[in-house]
Amino acid sequence: MNTPRTKIAFHTLGCKLNFTETSTISRSFPDDRFERVPAGKKADIYIINTCSVTDAADKKCKQAIRKFIHQSPDAFIAVVGCYAQLKPQEISSIPGVDLVLGINEKFDIASYIENTNKKKETEIHACDLSASGKFIPSFSIGDRTRSFLKVQDGCDYQCSYCTVPLARGGSRNPEICTLVSETISIAQRGVREIVITGVNIGDFGKSTGDNFTNLIRELVKVEGIERFRISSIEPNLLTDELLEMCTGKSKILPHFHIPLQSGCNRILALMGRRYKRELFAERVGMIKKHLPMAGIGADVIVGFPGETDSDSEETYDFLKALPLTYLHVFTFSERPGTKAAGMPGKVSHYEKERRSRRLIELSHSQHVEFMKLNIGKSADVLFEKTRINGMITGYSGNYLRAECPWQSGLAGQIKEVKLTGITGAGRMSIEFKV
């Protein structure tokens, strides 16, 4: 008689890198012993991979932990990742948590779970990242049509508002040959697009004496992968050489996400950023010179300590004047252990919300204008495997979401289409090329 498999559920909070690592962690549990179930279902084990980039992220983590404890009181609860690395004692104080693992230890979680019995006391394992140069390879498979490939971890930038160096340590990466091997493995599974991800991917090469452009040059040689998407790259690391590689019939998609954080040089200096807004504008202009229809997104933080109405207006006007596709708007969140936590000139919650709403509205209008510019143009769309309200959706190379009535044969396929208009759902309508 077969022994019933242990039901295990995974819940991920935060960035694409976290999702990539959760996928890798899940593969460490053998299928003959474990049955993966959705996090909303009853399970024997819940593994929660956490984020701690903002105070709101911490709250979401605690809410998720309590939700799963309430959902399955007898289940084994393991909390891992950035929040677990930064505040293990805070997590262990939540009744019902059995295991807390830091940023490196989470990859060995299968060895920490000998049985699923509840523990009398929470077990904590988190190394000192300042003494660790360890890089643990990760890529996602099966969760989405695209695969996310982790090429770099940690950060040396020490921005005044950011806890990432505290949670993930210094910048580090593997050898290029290791990532080429992983890319080949992904290609053998039938994946058509890889999203290159990390904490600060443009900093690739710090620990191996190499650089990001050389990495891309080798990855695009792998047969079977048709598209590479760069997830996010600092403006001071977006080189002319990299942009030149993206032109013509390149596998590198015309989509760039570039953290800006503020359009005011005074605030950028307080943030500890390594550029001025003029460099950001110059990089955007260079992208448009090489790739006129490229999609360009940016991160912006509102309400940083000392940001005046005039500074905020300067950021708004700067962003409005640029040919951006969308904005990711974040409200400043004071993080313990950072320089910004002790800075004067705190901005009120009301004012932060007002500035945030204004930039979100700007983002929407910029995105609509970009969609209008694309009407009538051809695009290669990679279709997703999920069905939403009878429709199938996919992304163009420049990161426009397109949709058409569901056809199961399209899932996972790249098709050349004509972008014909904007749907009521805010996506591009399409016609298929004959």
Measured CA to CA, the distance from residue 260 to residue 318 in angstroms comes to 11
Measured CA to CA, the distance from residue 328 to residue 183 in angstroms comes to 29
Average pLDDT over residues 120-149: 84
pLDDT tens-digit map of 265-284: 999 999 999 999 999 999 99
The class that CATH gives domain 132-253 is alpha beta
Q: Cα torsion at 27, 29, 33, 36 (round to 10°)?
A: -60
Tokens of 133: 């140069």
Q: Cα torsion at 236, 255, 198, 268 (round to 10°)?
A: 40
pLDDT at 106 over 70: yes
Q: What is the pLDDT of residue 132?
A: 61
pLDDT tens-digit map of 176-232: 999 999 999 999 999 999 999 999 999 999 889 999 999 999 999 999 999 999 999
Instruction: Identify the bridge partners of residue 302 per DSSP, sorted by sequence position.
Output: 331
CATH 2.40.50 segments of the chain: 378-432
- Domain 6-127, what architecture? 3-Layer(aba) Sandwich (3.40)
CATH 3.40.50.12160 segments of the chain: 6-127
pLDDT tens-digit map of 24-77: 999 999 999 999 999 999 999 999 999 998 888 999 999 999 999 999 999 999
Name residue, tokens 């948590």: 97
Q: Residue 34: count other Cβ atoms within 10 Å of its Cβ.
A: 18
Instruction: Identify the bridge partners of residue 251 per DSSP, sorted by sequence position.
Output: none
Q: What is the pLDDT of residue 143?
A: 62
Tokens of 330: 């974040």
- Domain 378-432, what architecture? Beta Barrel (2.40)
Measured CA to CA, the distance from residue 51 to residue 13 in angstroms comes to 6
When computed from its CA atoms, the radius of gyration of the chain, rounded to whole angstroms, is 22
Give the residue from 94, 120, 99, 97 showing the smallest Cα distance to 109.
99
Measured CA to CA, the distance from residue 301 to residue 316 in angstroms comes to 11
- Evaluate if pTM is beyond 0.85: yes
Give the residue from 295, 296, 297 showing the smallest Cα distance to 377.
295
DSSP H stretches of helix in 72-129: 82-86, 88-92, 109-112
Residue type for 256, please? F
Instruction: Identify the bridge partners of residue 298 per DSSP, sorted by sequence position.
Output: 258, 327
CATH 3.30.750.210 segments of the chain: 132-253
Percent of the chain having pLDDT more than 70? 98
DSSP letter assigned to residue 390? T
Give the residue from 55, 47, 57 showing the smallest Cα distance to 13.
57
